[in-house]
Copies of this chain bind each other. A is one copy, B any other.
Amino acid sequence: MIGNFTYCNPTKLYFGKGALAGLDEELPKYGKNVLLVYGGGSIKRNGVYEKVLARLKANGKTVFEDGGVMPNPTIDKVKEGVARAKAANADLILAVGGGSVCDYAKAVSVSVHCDEDIWEKYFIRFDDVSCEVVPVGCVLTMVGTGSEMNGGSVITNPAQKLKIGHVFGENVFPKFSVLDPEFTFTLPKYQMVSGIYDIMSHILEQYFSGTDDNTSDYIAEGLLRSLIHSADIAVENPLDYEARSNIMWTATWALNTLIAKGKTTDWMVHMLGQAVGAHTNATHGMTLSAVSMPYYRHILPYGVEKFARYAQNVWGVPAGDPETTARAGLARMEAWMRKLGLAMDLTELGATREMLDGMVQSTLIMDGGYKILEKAEIRAIFEESFGEARA
């Protein structure tokens, strides 16, 4: 642990069966106007909507609705939400849904009292928030993004073919989040598995960076082992509460800033995946899984010691020649990914080779990884991501 840092994560979490009762503790802290934000309506089919509404009414709230948040929320939808929040004079934004809905709520929360162009300010210039922030609370119904306990917000600009995430400071973190694993039980298996890989990618993107000795990497290995163990159970029996609850908790700690403390990080898998997401309507976690193996095989030679450590500590590969050990670890990871049913080829996600130029163009290049990519390398990784045949 060499780097200096600050750590502050004030989000209060209510976790477990019946955790929605936590709303009775939280709602009295805010004024009466609540903007209820949700997605395509699955919460109306699985009963979560009714339960949330009953708690809001019991706490004397006036509810204003803002439904229809799409899986990759657009900047135009955010602007619509801002108008609704203003009209409602919202004292609290309550996001009920998955990471997209939480991300969207945060983007609205920092824009209600902001007079500037919010796309330019937050997602192009990455400016800090300089205006009042409307408080956000979350009720999670999908697991993966970690948005329930961080300042992240990923917003898409379809006109510019850009999908960009901004990480806001602790003043934008949700004030509280309700995490009931049973609220995720009705999710289709494809979405569950996609979320599992999103979690894994979050951990790996913070792990595969730097060469110093850091407690954060040991915590990351623990989270990875728990995730792999519980994913194997959940994919066989999606209603296994214990496994689903472990996955839910792992997701939160995979991306709430903890495992990045004191170290560098490498977010290139997300940059590649988000470029795919900007050109298709593919599920986020699947865009990450489809590009991961080509990316990791490409950077392995530049970080072979860390990949060898990963192979031993996470996948149980016996110690040996570092490169052989490292490659054996990736092979075990790939076999596990295929067993889970993750997308391993961009073709599955509706991407075509005609989109290749655009995807390369949309990919933001970040440093922090074992190799800073050139545009030609990004193209090669995408090409290899098309070349994979599903086992």
A222 contacts B by Cβ under 8 Å: yes
Contacts of A5 in B (CB 8 A): 15-16
A220 nearest in chain B by CB position: B222
The contact of A215 among B19, B221, B250, B261, by CB within 8 Å, is B250
Known A230-B213, A249-B215, A249-B262; judge A13-B6 contact (CB<8 A).
Answer: yes
Q: Is the CB–CB distance between A7 and B18 below 8 Å?
A: no
CB of A174 to closest CB in B, whole Å:
12
Cα-based distance from A213 to B246 in the complex (angstroms):
8
CB of A17 to closest CB in B, whole Å:
6
Cα-based distance from A241 to B14 in the complex (angstroms):
37
Q: Is the CB–CB distance between A213 and B241 below 8 Å?
A: no
The contact of A17 among B4, B218, B222, by CB within 8 Å, is B4
Contacts of A216 in B (CB 8 A): 249
The contact of A245 among B2, B12, B242, by CB within 8 Å, is B2
Residue of A9, A11, A19, A219 with most partner-chain B CB within 10 A: A219
Contacts of A6 in B (CB 8 A): 12-15, 22
- Chain A residues with CB under 8 Å of chain B are 1-19, 22, 212-216, 218-223, 225-226, 229-230, 241-243, 245-246, 248-250, 253, 261-262
A-B contact pairs, 21 of them (CB 8 A): A1-B242, A2-B241, A4-B16, A5-B15, A5-B16, A6-B12, A8-B11, A212-B242, A213-B229, A213-B246, A214-B246, A215-B222, A215-B230, A215-B246, A215-B249, A216-B249, A219-B253, A221-B222, A222-B223, A245-B262, A249-B262
8 closest residue pairs by CB, A with B: A4-B16, A222-B222, A218-B226, A8-B12, A218-B222, A1-B245, A7-B13, A215-B226
